[in-house]
Chain A
Amino acid sequence: MDSMRLSDMREGQRATIVRIGGSGPLRRRILEMGILKGTEIRVEKYAPLRDPLEIVVKGSHLSLRVEEAAQITVEKVR
Chain B
Amino acid sequence: MNAPVKRLTIALAGNPNSGKTTIFNNLTGTRQKVGNWPGVTVEKKEGVIQRDGYELKIVDLPGTYSLTPFSIEEIVARDFVLEAHPDVVIDIIDASNLDRSLYLATQVRELDCKVLFALNMADVARSRGIKIDAQKLSELLEVPVVFTVGNKHEGIDALIAEAITLSERGAAATPSRKVKYSKDIEAAIGALRDFMAARSDLALPYEPRWTAIKLLEDDKIVTSRVLEKTGAFGAEILAETARLRSHLMDRFDDDPEILMTDERYGFIAGIIKEVVTTSTRQRVDISRNIDLVLTNRFFGFPIFFFFIWAMFQLTFTLGAYPMEWLDAGVGWIAQGFSALLPDGLLKDLVLDGVIAGVGSIIVFLPNILILFFFIALFEDTGYMARAAFLMDRIMHLIGLHGKSFIPMLMGFGCNVPAIMAARALESEKDRKLTILITPFMSCSAKLPVYIILAGAFFGPRAGTVIFAIYLSGILVSIVTGRLMRSTLLRGADAPFVMELPPYRVPMLKSLMIHMWDRSKIFLRKMGGIILAGAVIIWFLTAFPRHIDYTTDYTAAAEQVGAAFNERMLAAAPEARAALEAERRTALDKIETAREAERTEKSYIGRIGRFLEPVFAPIGISWRGGVALLTGFVAKEIVISTLGVLHAVDSADEGDALQRALHRTGMTPLSALSMMVFVLLYLPCLATIAAIRRETGSLRWTFFSIAYSTSLAWVAAFGVWQGGRLLGFS
Contact = CB atoms under 8 A, between A and B. Distances in A.
> Do A and B originate from a single complex?
yes
A8 interface: no
Contacts of A62: 497-500
Contact of A48 (B103, B261, B297, B492): B297
Interface in A29-75: 29-37, 44-52, 54, 58-65, 68
Contact of B97 (A24, A36, A60, A64): A60
Interface of A: 24-37, 44-52, 54, 58-65, 68
Interface residues of B, number: 40
A38 to B, nearest CB: 10
B264 to A, nearest CB: 9
Contacts of A34: 99-100, 103, 265
A28 B257 contact: yes
A72 to B, nearest CB: 11
Contacts of A47: 295, 300, 389-390, 392-393
A63 B500 contact: yes
Given A28-B68, A28-B258, A64-B495, A59 B265 contact: no
A48 B390 contact: yes
A40 to B, nearest CB: 13
A31 to B, nearest CB: 5
Contact of A31 (B258, B298, B390, B498): B258
B309 interface: no
B287 to A, nearest CB: 7
B396 interface: yes
B341 interface: no
Given A31-B258, A32-B65, A51 B497 contact: no
A35 B498 CA distance: 12
B252 interface: no
Given A47-B295, A59-B128, A65-B392, A31 B500 contact: no
A47 B392 CA distance: 9
A18 to B, nearest CB: 14
A24 B257 CA distance: 10
Given A50-B393, A65-B396, A68-B497, A33 B65 contact: yes
A61 B286 CA distance: 13
A55 to B, nearest CB: 10
B128 A54 contact: no
Contacts of A50: 393
B332 interface: no
Contacts of B385: 63
Contacts of B262: 31, 36-37
A46 B497 CA distance: 14
Contact of B389 (A32, A37, A59, A63): A63
12 contacts: A24-B492, A25-B495, A34-B265, A47-B393, A48-B295, A48-B296, A51-B393, A52-B389, A52-B393, A63-B385, A63-B496, A63-B499
Contacts of A68: 495-497
B70 A54 contact: no
Contacts of B301: 48
A60 B390 contact: no
A49 B296 CA distance: 11
Given A54-B500, A63-B498, 18 more contacts: A25-B70, A28-B70, A28-B261, A30-B497, A33-B65, A36-B265, A45-B291, A46-B297, A47-B392, A47-B393, A52-B389, A54-B389, A62-B498, A62-B500, A63-B389, A63-B497, A64-B497, A68-B496
A28 B385 CA distance: 21
Contact of A59 (B68, B70, B96): B96
Interface string B139-179: 00000000000000000000000000000000000000000
B75 to A, nearest CB: 13
B97 A59 contact: yes
A37 B548 CA distance: 83
A32 B68 contact: yes
B675 to A, nearest CB: 33
Contact of B66 (A32, A45, A64): A32
Interface string B45-66: 0000000000000000000011
Contacts of B390: 47-49
A31 B261 contact: yes
Contact of A49 (B128, B261, B394, B495): B394
A60 B492 contact: no
A32 B261 contact: yes
Contacts of A64: 495-498
Contacts of B499: 33, 60-63
Contacts of B257: 28
Nearest to B268: A34
Nearest to A53: B389
A48 B164 CA distance: 50
Contact of A45 (B100, B103, B295, B502): B295
Contact of A33 (B96, B100, B298): B100
The winner among A30, A31, A36, A51 for most chain B CB atoms within 10 A is A31
A64 B103 CA distance: 20
B65 A27 contact: no
A48 B300 CA distance: 7
Q: Which 8 A-B pairs have the closest CB atoms?
A: A49-B393, A61-B500, A65-B496, A26-B495, A31-B261, A32-B66, A51-B393, A48-B300
A35 B257 CA distance: 15
A58 B496 contact: no
A31 B300 CA distance: 29
A47 B390 CA distance: 6
Candidate in B65, B287, B394, B495 with the most chain A CB atoms within 10 angstroms: B495
Contacts of A54: 291, 295, 389, 500
B103 A32 contact: yes
A49 B389 CA distance: 10
B498 A60 contact: no
Interface in B271-289: 287-288
Contacts of A46: 297
A25 B492 contact: yes
Interface centre among B128, B291, B497, B498 (most CB of A within 10 A): B497
A35 B287 CA distance: 21
Contacts of B128: 59
A52 B502 CA distance: 18
Contacts of B103: 32, 34
